[in-house]
Amino acid sequence: MFRSLILSSAVALVISGPVAAQDMMANSGSMSSTEVGIAPVSGASATDYVKLAADSDMYEIQSSRLALTKSKREDVKALAQQMITEHAGTTKALMAALKNDDRTITRPSSQLSAANAAKIALLKKAPKAAFDDMYLQQQAEAHQTAWALHKGYAIEGTDLSLKQVASTAVPVIERHLQHVKQILPAALSPVS
């Protein structure tokens, strides 16, 4: 059943052409800028998109690994495990999209950006009593930023392979953002 659904979707895209495929990618996700609290990023190059998306995924995975060891809450640990699993998947899709004979995009650094490394350092130093709130607040902010990046590239991106990666990532990020907001204490929730 699933296989035939994918096949029929692929046939429909081929029949309707690249414009329909681009429209489908731009409409990925169900949240608006107002709901997320940030506008989509405009004008990111393919190289910048890859660099920022990879950095975002690395931060999510590293911060969530910390949460598995430092968190006192089972719901936070469950969220952290979901982040690790699903951001490993988005990273895999991103790396696979770099392999293209039509263009060359340099593999992104395996080192976190200074800003994300600083967030990890804060989490490492956080007292156990404050860790969960700090982790959840960082996750809310990081997912707003990630949504803006991926949604913007899904709408305006110039590389179709990367645009597909962005479109696929948007619903994942929206699901994470909604999950974080459900368990984040209201007083710590980012303005949206």
Mean pLDDT (10-residue bins), the chain, 192 residues: 37 40 57 91 95 98 97 96 97 93 87 98 95 96 97 96 96 95 70 44
Architecture of domain 47-188: Up-down Bundle (1.20)
**One-letter-per-residue 3-state SS of the chain:** CHHHHHHHHHHHHHHHCHHHHHHHHHCCCCCCHHHHCCCCCCCCCHHHHHHHHHHHHHHHHHHHHHHHHHCCCHHHHHHHHHHHHHHHHHHHHHHHHCCCCCCCCCCCCCCCCHHHHHHHHHHHHCCHHHHHHHHHHHHHHHHHHHHHHHHHHHHHCCCHHHHHHHHHHHHHHHHHHHHHHHHCCHHHCCCC
Per-residue pLDDT at 103: 83
Rounded to two decimals, the pTM is 0.82
Per-residue pLDDT at 15: 37
Tell me the HSE value of 64 on the side-chain side, using a 13 A CA sphere: 26
